[in-house]
Amino acid sequence: MKIAVLPGDGIGPEIVAQALEVTKAVCKKFGHVLTYQEALVGACAIDAVGDPYPAETHALCMESDAVLFGAIGSPKYDNDPSAKVRPEQGLLAMRKKLGLYANIRPVTTFPSLLHKSPLRSDLVEGADFMCIRELTGGIYFGRPQGRSEDGTTAYDTCVYTVEEIERIVRLAYDYAMKRKKKLTIVDKANVLCTSRLWRQVSQQLEKEYPEVATEYMFVDNAAMQIIQWPKRFDVMVTENMFGDILTDEASVITGSLGMLPSASIGIHTSVFEPIHGSYPQAAGKDIANPLATILSAALMFEYAFDLKAEGKLIREAVDASMAAKVVTEDIAESGKAYKTSEVGQWIVDYINKQ
């Protein structure tokens, strides 16, 4: 197993360090040979070499079997709208160059966190659905893009091709077939031309999957129903910007942003990362929740290497740490809040004892 390790900015190095230690422990337990190499991405890469996704980093990703990624972003660039080079450009470049057309975010609830959800427990208990977001098309990548010469007008262009839509919707159908055979396709076809193309392509594909119950939903309705009735969804697929917004909304209902992993898969090397940002206020304090990144490592074993038992052991260890209340301050109750490194070490020790 050869992985590229991209810690990134803010709390990225701290949480990735714990996920890497868990990965090492699992590989030792199951007899896998692990090699890994770190590389720069994001604000730290801009500061070091002037490029948020250096050529050396891309070469390492292409040569690796999987990428374990932390987070990018820095107030230095967030607070400077005139910055020509931004950390987020590195993330977009990585997605485009690696062909990461699909972001998969499982949204699951944890019994010990139900009371922390902004929704009533009876609404979220048992919620378990998967959001599949198209990742390399749409308004984030469409051209032309820019501002008028006098600076008074700005414009972005949303572009999708039949090929881009078909590959992501087909992937969503494949996941639906493995789950409850229910798929929700989210668009804004009553307003947007690109959404009408999404719906046209999806309706053609629907005929190939008669076993799957397919529904079409406008994005504003989907945003409302995720809050009203999250248990009604099983697999949801949508375009890039809608997916960005809906997956963040869905993640919050589980009780903590620090708990949910994601996988970005596509043409070349797949990337596994937590859904949260770089949380610069906590950087270097050893207080960030590493569980989403550790669970991303579980996804890495399962998706990149087809090692289901390894992923299952990591999930079991995370569940055990929560049951033992060995958690960071964001989800700790009246008892002790553990440090990032302490939570990681507890999970490593648990794995070693199995």
Q: Cα(160)–Cα(190) distance, rounded to whole angstroms?
A: 17
Beta strands in the chain (DSSP E): 2-8, 35-38, 66-71, 102-108, 128-134, 146-147, 154-155, 182-187, 213-218, 235-238, 261-265, 270-274
Q: Among all residues, which ones are annotated catalytic?
A: 140, 188, 220, 244, 248
Residue 93: strand, helix, or coil: helix
Alpha-helix residue ranges (DSSP H) falling in 64-120: 75-78, 87-98
User: Do residues 140 and 92 touch, judged by C-beta distance below 8 A?
Assistant: yes
Q: Which of 283, 301, 292 is nearest to 247 (CA)?
A: 292
Q: Cα(218)–Cα(131) distance, rounded to whole angstroms?
A: 15
User: Do residues 86 and 140 touch, judged by C-beta distance below 8 A?
Assistant: no
Task: From residue 180, give the alpha-carbon distance in Å to each of 166, 213, 229.
Answer: 21, 9, 17
Q: What letter represents residue 276's amino acid?
A: H
- Radius of gyration for the alpha carbons in the chain, expressed in angstroms and rounded: 20
Phi/psi region, residue 336 (left: phi>0; alpha: psi -120 to 50; beta: rest), is beta
User: Do residues 350 and 320 touch, judged by C-beta distance below 8 A?
Assistant: yes
User: Do residues 167 and 157 touch, judged by C-beta distance below 8 A?
Assistant: no
